Structure 1
C-alpha cells in the first residue's frame, strides 16, 4: 500500500499493529466510524484496542473482509470469531448495507442444523475460547442443542456397520479425520462420541451434561462419559485444571440417577481427590453419593489411609460420614437386606481397624454404635473387635472400657461368646458379672421351659418361656402357640424325650459353672474393695 492509502494505524491487544485505509475500514465498522468521524487530524490516525475478540489473528480476518468488498468464507471453524468481531466493530446494516458481516454470521448460525459433526465440534472448540460472547450471541446454546439432539438420534437408532451408514443415522459425518472402517466401528458402540467431546473445557462439559439431562438422555451413558472425561483430562492437566475437571465431574454425577453411577467408580474418584484440595461442596457431594451406595462397597474400598499428618492408620471419620449419608438417605428403611449388608461390612471394618494403637476410644465407640441395634442379629464379631481393641489399648481408663462395653448387646451373643466373655480379664469386672447373671437367668428360663414342655398328640403344642428383663430385674412370661397337631410316632416321641433330658442335663451343668464363676467374681470384687479401702461406685451399664 502507498502512504496515502495507509492513513490509519491499529494496535490490536498489543500483539500486532496494522496499517489500514481509514475510508475502507470505516465503511464497514460503525464503531470506527463513530470513533474517527470525519476528522483527519494526526491524533485520529491511530487506534488502540485492548480487548479485541480473537486478537490480531481475528482482526486480520476482519480487515480482509473489508478489503474484499464484504466477501469472506464463513465456516463453523471461524463463525464464532467473525461474529464476536463483527459485534465488537458494530458491522451492521446501517453502515455496510447488504455487506453486513453481523447479519451474514447470524444467517449461517441459523443453518446449524445442516452442519456436519466435525463442523459442530470445530464451532464448539472456538466457542470455548470466546465463551462469554458465544453465550450472549446464542451460538454456544445452538451448538450444544444440536450436539445433544444428534446424540439422541444415534442413541435411539443404535446404528451399526452392518445395517446403517453415517448418513442414514440422521446426520452427515465428515470422514476427513477417520478411516471409513474406524468410523463404522465407532457407531457400534454407545461411547463413540466420548473422545470427540473430551477435548471440551470443564465449563462446556457442565453445560453439555445439563442439556443432556434436561432432554432425558440416558443417565448411564452420561455417567460413563463423565468418568471417561475425568480420566482422559487428568493425565496432562495442570493442578488448577485438575481441580476444575474433578469438581465438574462430581457435580454432574450428583445430578444423575444414583443407580447409574457404579460405587467402584466413585471410590476411584475419591482416591484421586484425596491429594487435591477440591471445593467442600463437591467433596460433600462425592461422600453423599458413596454413602447412598454403602451396601455395594467392599472392605478394601473403606480402608482409606488417614489424611496427611494424622497419627491413626485409616480415615475413620470419612467412613462415619459415609454411614451418616447412608442413614440420611432413608432408602435402607425399605430394604432390610441393604442394612444387613452394611452392618456386615462395618463389622469387618471395625475388626480391621481395632488393632490400630492410635485409634481413640471415642472413635472406636462411634463406629460400634453408628448403626441401629436392629441391623445385627449376632454381635459375636463386634465382641471380637472389642476384645482386640481392649488388648491393644490396655492403658484405657476404667470409664473408657465401660463405655465400650455398654455398647455391646449381650443378648445377641452366642453361648460360646458369653462363655469367653465370662473368662475375659480384659473386660471390666462389673460388665463380666452382669453378663454372667444375664446368662444364668437365660439358662434358668430355658431349664424351666424344658421341665414344663409336654407333648400332646391331639392338641396344639404350647411353650411358656420366661425372659429376664435386664433393666428392671423382673421376669415376664411369653406364650408362643404352635397351631396344628404333631404327627409324631412313638419312637420319635421317645427320642425327643431323650433329647430334651440330655439338654436339661447340659443346662444344669452350665448353670453350676456360671454359679461357680459368679462366686469367684464376687470374691474378686470384695478383694478389690478391701485393697482400696472404700468401694467406688461404677456407672450403670447399658443393656
Structure 2
C-alpha cells in the first residue's frame, strides 16, 4: 500500500523531504499543532525548519522512528541526537502503548553511569552541534555532570595532591624518596584527560571549566589544561577561529585564582596575542593577570617588541600598564615591591638607549614605583646617563624634568661623585649632588666620631673599622675639594669641604693615639693573666 506524502519539509536549507503528515504528527505534537486536523487531500502543505537538530541526517533519523511504529535502536552513538530531536519536535506522544521518543531516550541516558569514557566523549562531542537544544533540554548538564564526576573521582584516587606552583609539574609526591617514574605516573594521572577535552569547542570547554570550579578542582591543574588547550587548538584552527579560542582561554584563566596561573605561560600567550586582533576587554584581563604577579617576571619577559604603529623599540606602554595593575592590588608586600624595583632598574637601562623613546615615557618609567620600592638610585642614575647621552639634543628644561625622577638621597658616594662631574647632566643636578654628598660626609664623620671601642673588643678591629670609614670620607673630600672646578657661588662649600678634610685628619691622629693606648692596656692585661696562671701552677 502506497503511503501518501502530503507534507513537504525543508530542513535547514540542506534538503527537502516529502513525508506523510498523519504519521509524523502521530508522534510529533509540534507537527500536529502546526496543521491541526487538516485532511490528507489538502495540497501544498509545507514546513520550513531553520535549526532542526542534526540537519537532514537528524530529520531522516526521526522519520525512521515514526515509520517504524516508534521503534529504533538507541545507543550512545545516537542518543544525544534523538533526545534533542524529541524535545525539538515535542515527541511525547505514543502509539499503541509504545513509549514515546522522549521517554525512550531518557531511559537510555539513565544508563550513562555505565558508559565507557569514550562513549561519554562521543555524546559530548555531538552536543557541540546540538546547542541550544542540548542546553535547554538539560542533556548537556547531564553529560557534563557525569564527565566532571569521573574526573573528580580520578583526582581523589590519586595518592598525591597537586602542587600549588603553576610552573611545577602539577603533581608532587609527598615523599622525596619516591622515584622519578612514580612522579611521572602521578603527573599523568592528573593530566591524562587534557588531550581528550582539547577536542571540544570553546563553548563546551567553558561549560566544563565552570563545572570543574563548582566541584572545587585544583586551579593550577585547570590553568595548565587551558594553556595546553590554546596551544593544541591553534595547530589546526583557521585564522578566524584562533581569536575565539584565544579569548575563551583568557576569559577562563581570568576566572581562576591568579596565583595558580603560571606567569611564564601568560607571557607566552601574550606574545601570541601580538598577531591577533583580540578585544580590548580580553587584552585588559590578560595584562591584569600578568601585572598582579609582576614580581615573578624576568627582563626577557618584559622586552616585548612595540606594535608596528609605534616608534619605540620595546612596548613601554605595556610595561606601564603592568605596573599599574601591580600597584593597583592595594597593599603590596615590601619584598615583592623591591623585587619589581630591581627588575625595573634593568628594564629602564635596557630601553634608555632607544633614540625614539620620548622623555615623558622615560620619566614615567622612572617614577612609576614609589620611593620606598628601591634601596638605591644608582641603577636609575646609570640609565639616565645613557638616556642623556643618546638624547644629547634635549633642552636644559627637559633634562631638569628628567632629573626630577632621581632620588639623590639614595645615590651612593661614588654615584654622587660621578654625577657632579658629569657634563651631560644640568648644573642644577650637579649642585644637588654636591649638597647630598656634603650631607653624607657629615653623617659619616659623625658616626665615626661617636664610635668607641667596647670593653672586651680587640682594639685593632675597632681601629681598622674606623680608619676605613675615615679614609673613605677623606678620599671623597679630596675629590670634591681638589678636582672639581666650582663656581664662585660655591666657594663657601669648597671651604666647608676643606674644613671637613682637616677634621678627618685630626680624627686620624686621635685614633692612632687611642690605638697605642689600647694596645698597651691589652698587653698589660695579657701579662697579668700569664702571671696569675704561673702562680696557680706553682701552688698546685
Superposed displacement of residue 32, structure 1: 2.6
Superposed displacement of residue 331, structure 1: 5.7
Superposed displacement of residue 501, structure 1: 6.2
Superposed displacement of residue 443, structure 1: 2.2
* Contact 1:159/1:188, CA 8 A, preserved across alignment: no
Q: Cα 1:331–1:223, aligned 2, differ >3 Å: closer, same or farther? A: farther
Q: Cα 1:255–1:331, aligned 2, differ >3 Å: closer, same or farther? A: farther
* Contact 1:10/1:46, CA 8 A, preserved across alignment: yes
Normalized against structure 2, the TM-score is what? 0.80
Superposed displacement of residue 188, structure 1: 4.3
List structure 1 runs of 4+ shifted beyond 6 angstroms: 184-187
Provide the rounded CA distance (Å) in 1 between the counterparts of 2:102 and 2:79.
Answer: 10
2:232 alignment partner, SS class: helix
Q: Unmatched 5+ residue regions in structure 1?
A: 161-183, 458-484, 524-543
* Contact 2:81/2:126, CA 8 A, preserved across alignment: yes
Q: What does residue range 87-486 of structure 1 map to in structure 2 within 5 Å?
A: 87-93=87-93, 97-158=97-158, 188-330=188-330, 332-333=332-333, 336-450=334-448, 452-453=449-450, 455=452, 485-486=454-455
Q: Cα 1:245–1:12, aligned 2, differ >3 Å: closer, same or farther? A: same
Provide the rounded CA distance (Å) in 1 between the counterparts of 2:462 and 2:436.
Answer: 32
Normalized against structure 1, the TM-score is what? 0.80
Q: Cα 1:404–1:521, aligned 2, differ >3 Å: closer, same or farther? A: farther
* Contact 1:433/1:518, CA 8 A, preserved across alignment: no
Provide the rounded CA distance (Å) in 1 between the counterparts of 2:372 and 2:80.
Answer: 62
Superposed displacement of residue 95, structure 1: 6.1
Instruction: Give CA deviations for 1:189-220 in whole Å, capped at 9, x if unaligned.
Output: 32111111111110111111011011101111
What is the RMSD computed on CA atoms of the aligned residues? 2.6
* Contact 1:340/1:375, CA 8 A, preserved across alignment: yes
Superposed displacement of residue 338, structure 1: 1.4
Instruction: Give CA deviations for 1:293-320 in whole Å, capped at 9, x if unaligned.
Output: 1111111110001111211111000000
1:98 alignment partner, SS class: coil
Number of aligned positions between the proteins: 467
Q: What does residue range 26-45 of structure 1 map to in structure 2 within 5 Å?
A: 26-36=25-35, 37-45=37-45
Corresponding position of 1:54:
54
1:248 alignment partner, SS class: helix
2:236 alignment partner, SS class: coil
Superposed displacement of residue 421, structure 1: 0.6
Provide the rounded CA distance (Å) in 2 between the counterparts of 1:341 and 1:395.
Answer: 34
Provide the rounded CA distance (Å) in 2 between the counterparts of 1:284 and 1:10.
Answer: 48
Q: What does residue range 500-511 of structure 1 map to in structure 2 within 5 Å?
A: 502=471, 505-506=474-475, 508-510=477-479
Point out the more displaced range, 288-297 or 93-102: 93-102
* Contact 2:29/2:93, CA 8 A, preserved across alignment: no
1:488 to 443, 453, 457: 457
2:482 to 513, 517, 523: 513
1:233 alignment partner, SS class: helix
* Contact 1:312/1:356, CA 8 A, preserved across alignment: yes
Q: Cα 1:5–1:384, aligned 2, differ >3 Å: closer, same or farther? A: same
Q: Cα 1:63–1:159, aligned 2, differ >3 Å: closer, same or farther? A: farther
Q: Unmatched 5+ residue regions in structure 2?
A: 161-183, 492-540
* Contact 2:9/2:17, CA 8 A, preserved across alignment: yes
1:28 alignment partner, SS class: coil
